[in-house]
Structure formats: C-alpha cells, structure tokens
Structure 1
Amino acid sequence: MSRSELVRRYGIFTSGVIFAALGIALITRAGLGTSAVSGLPYVCSLIFPALSFGTFNFIFEILLFLGQAALLGRAFSRVQFLQLPANFVFSYCIDLWMWVLHFFIPEVLPYPVRLLLLLIGCVLLGFGVALEVVADVLILSYEGFVKALSQRFHRDFGHTELVVDNTILVLAILTSFAGLGRLAGLREGTIIGTLIVGHISGFFCRRLAPLTKRLCQSDALAQ
C-alpha cells in the first residue's frame, strides 16, 4: 500500500470518527436517550458532572483497549496502538459537538422534532461507522474489543457484539439507578438507535465500498 493511499484511507477513517461523534452528540441532544454503546459513559457524566461525556468515553475506550490487548496477548499488533489517538479524537469530537449543539434544549422542543433529531443522529452515526469500516486501516477500541473477544472464544462477531452491547446497556441502567436513584440518559431513543444504526451502517458500507476500490485502483494505475 502506497503512502498516498494510506494517507487517504486514514483521512476517510478520521472523517468517519468525526461523523460518528456528531451522530452520538445529536442523538444525545435529542433528549430521547443516548446510543447504547455510549450509555455508560453518558450516565457516568450525569453522576459526576465535573467530568465531561467525552472524558468518560475516553476512559471507557482505554479500558476496552487494555481488555483487547489482554485478550490477544502476543497477537496484539503494534499498529493497534494508533487506537489511542483515534479514541482521543473521537472523545474530543463528542464533547466538541455536544458544545456546538448546546442550543438544542429537549424540554422546549416538540416531541416530533426530537424524534427527527434522533433519526438524523442515527443516520450520521451509521454513516460515520461505515466510513471507518471502508477505510480498512484501524478500528476504535470498542469494535477492537468485540473483535478480540470473538477471536479469543471463537464466536461470531455479530453475536459477540450483540452480547457486549446488551451487557454495557445493563451496566448503564444499573449505574444510573445506583448513582442517581433513577433511570437517566437511556430512553426509547436508545432502543431505536440499537435497532437501526447497524442497518444504516450496512447500507452505507455497500455504497461506499466501491470508493475504496477506486482509491486502490487509482494508485495502481499511477504506478
């Protein structure tokens, strides 16, 4: 793989990270519950408001990175250490987009508008994830942990991801009740996002994959 192709692939990946962070922020600002994967960091930020949503997300990603490394052992590739700056950018972008979108106040928005914001957020999140996938250079620590878990125990990736998603969701619910005495940050939007983001991501992956193919061909033809 040439340097120019690698640069473009990482550019696509970074764009995906930015779009995914925007999607999560918009879903959260809709006030109908954040995404399932972001549920635990968001609930922690509600319990400990001195630390931001993005900060807790970064801590969460670091823990998953360490879990991934422990699962893979010697099979853990050095290139995966690039997950650390990628996690930082992702978490920073979550906070940045949360600040940019601060004018969306759920309490004053009609429910249909909040639902529309949620759906737009789901589309942006799915699009961002698709860009990360078709870039085919790196993955964030959450996906890396799921992949490592599926490899370590020889389980299907999709099934493993579903189990991990549900586990994190349960932990978020328990943490919310333990820290706030009520359910917070997790609502019908969380369920909607869980049901549709994967399908949206798959839709975009099928249509964006040819772009990556043409990207490779352009380098090959130039040589």
Structure 2
Amino acid sequence: MSVPYVISLYIPFTFGSCVAAEQIILLVLQKIILKSDFEMRALLQLPTAILFGVFCDVALSLYSSISFSEYYQRFFSLCLGICILAVGLSFQFIANISVAAPDGFMLALAHRFKSSYSRVKVSVDWLFVAVSVGISFMFFKELHGVREGTLISALSVGTAVGIARPWVHKYLTRWMAAYSSGEGELRETNEG
C-alpha cells in the first residue's frame, strides 16, 4: 500500500480513496492477465476494495492519536503486523475464499507464470516500493512515504506467508479431523 500512501500525500484524496482506486486497477489487471481463466467470483473484490478503503480511513482516524516514540516499539509493531498478515493471508488462501485485489493480482501473476504466491509477492512488493519511490521523487523531488519499514514489509510479507502457510494448513487439517471425528461421535450418541 505504499503507492496509494505516497499518492495520498500529494493529491487531495484520502489514503482510503487511493487504496480503493489502486485495488480497482489491480482487479482490472487480473482480468487482463488471466483472460479466459478469470473467475467471475473475483468481482467480489470490487465491493471489498471500496470497503477496505473506507476501513483504512476509519482506522487512520481511530489510531491517529497512537504514536510509538521509541524505534524498537515501531519495529516490534511492524514485525507483529507482518506475522498477523501472513497468518491471515494463509487462512484466506487455504479456505479458498475471495481475496483482496492486490492478493488476487499476485495470485493471477503466480498462475500465469507458474510460480508460487510467496515469490511473486516479494517481487511485486519490491516493484510497488520502486514505483512509490519514483512517484515520491516525481511529486516532491525527495523521498516521502517510504522508509525502512516499507522495505522490510516488501521483503518479509511474502516470505512470511511462505513460512506460515504450511503451518496453518497443518493446523487446519488437524482441527478439521478432530472436529469431524467429534461430530461423528455426537451423531452416534444422538441416534442411540
């Protein structure tokens, strides 16, 4: 989300509006990349993009008073956020539910180029960071909106998903097996 953030620093639109616009563009790009493989259920990403943009603005408003003054606090919250995002994305992919447009775009690239989501995510995130830096220099003639946290996220989120996904899959498989066997026992008790 570094591209919409840098753009929102320059134009008179909110960060959430810029996020929604970016996600709609990425949805269109999915259609172009996948052509006939594009599934109509991906259109669910459109209302999700708009809601996500609204939630971004609401979250910024709610958390604007929270500020970490110490660098280690910022770094810890960044690492925690990366881990939470990786686990959440893993659940989302394993459940095979509609994903957000940026992840759908990366899944489309992974499908088209027969690569893994993790590899594509790291590459595309780095591309987005480069675009953000370029836009920043174009608008401000200096670097705005991109710092080391952006770089760490670009490198880490895709890698963290690659690490978390097998663990989440293993957990869900065990949980579903335990749930299924427990449900079967309950059915036998009720029938007897």
CA 1:123–1:150: 2 relative to 1, 3 Å: closer
> Could you tell me how far 1:144 is from its partner in structure 2?
1.8
**Aligned position for 2:190:** none
Listed as ranges, the matches of 1:72-221 within 5 Å are: 72-105=34-67, 109-152=69-112, 154-157=113-116, 158-210=118-170, 212-213=172-173, 214-215=175-176, 218=180
Structure 2: which 5+ residue stretches go unaligned? 188-192
Question: Is residue 23 of structure 2 the alignment partner of residue 61 of structure 1?
Answer: yes
**Aligned position for 1:5:** none
Q: TM-score, normalised by structure 1?
A: 0.70
Deviations 1:33-91 (A, max 9, x none): xxxxx11011011112x312121111001001001112222221111111112222332
Mean CA deviation greater in 133-142 or 176-185: 133-142
1 CA distance for matches of 2:167 and 2:123? 28
Contact 1:42 1:53 (C-alpha < 8 Å) held by counterparts = yes
CA 1:159–1:206: 2 relative to 1, 3 Å: closer
1 CA distance for matches of 2:180 and 2:53? 33
Count of aligned positions: 181
Question: Is residue 29 of structure 2 the alignment partner of residue 40 of structure 1?
Answer: no
> Could you tell me how far 1:102 is from its partner in structure 2?
0.8
1 CA distance for matches of 2:168 and 2:5? 30
Please say which structure displays the higher CA radius of gyration.
2
Structure 1: which 5+ residue stretches go unaligned? 1-37
Q: CA RMSD in A?
A: 2.6
Partner SS, residue 66 of structure 1: helix
Contact 2:45 2:99 (C-alpha < 8 Å) held by counterparts = yes
2 CA distance for matches of 1:140 and 1:52? 19
CA 1:199–1:73: 2 relative to 1, 3 Å: closer
Instruction: Return the structure number with greater relative CO, CA threshold 8 A, min gap 6.
Output: 1
1 CA distance for matches of 2:121 and 2:159? 14
1 CA distance for matches of 2:114 and 2:165? 23
2 CA distance for matches of 1:149 and 1:202? 16
Contact 1:41 1:57 (C-alpha < 8 Å) held by counterparts = yes
Contact 1:135 1:212 (C-alpha < 8 Å) held by counterparts = no
Contact 1:132 1:139 (C-alpha < 8 Å) held by counterparts = yes
Aligned-residue sequence identity (percent) comes to 25
